[in-house]
Amino acid sequence: VRPPEVLDEKAAIELAVKQGIGVVVAGALTRDGDRLTVSVRAAEAVSGTVLAEEAESATASDGVLSAVASLAG
């Protein structure tokens, strides 16, 4: 299977289905003023059913790694 040029969530789901992988984990980093939010979601590749979804906020770019570490648990 040839990998996609851009591996966004949609492409990851398509690739997972083709490869027989059951779950896709996708993440995003968004900014709202001074606040940064790191979010992650795990979903079944075939059905799209969300298995888990979490988000953490940071008030500065140096807090993003702490937010990621918190999400990783």
pLDDT at 3 over 80: no
Rg (alpha carbons) of the chain, rounded to whole number: 14
Shortest CA distance to 43 belongs to which of 12, 69, 73? 12
pLDDT in tens, 11-66: 999 999 999 999 999 999 999 988 899 999 999 999 999 999 999 998 877 788 88
Q: Which pLDDT score is estimated for 23?
A: 97
CA distances from 38 to 9, 41, 47 (A): 15, 11, 24
pTM confidence score: 0.79
Distance from the Cα of residue 29 to its chain's centroid: 9
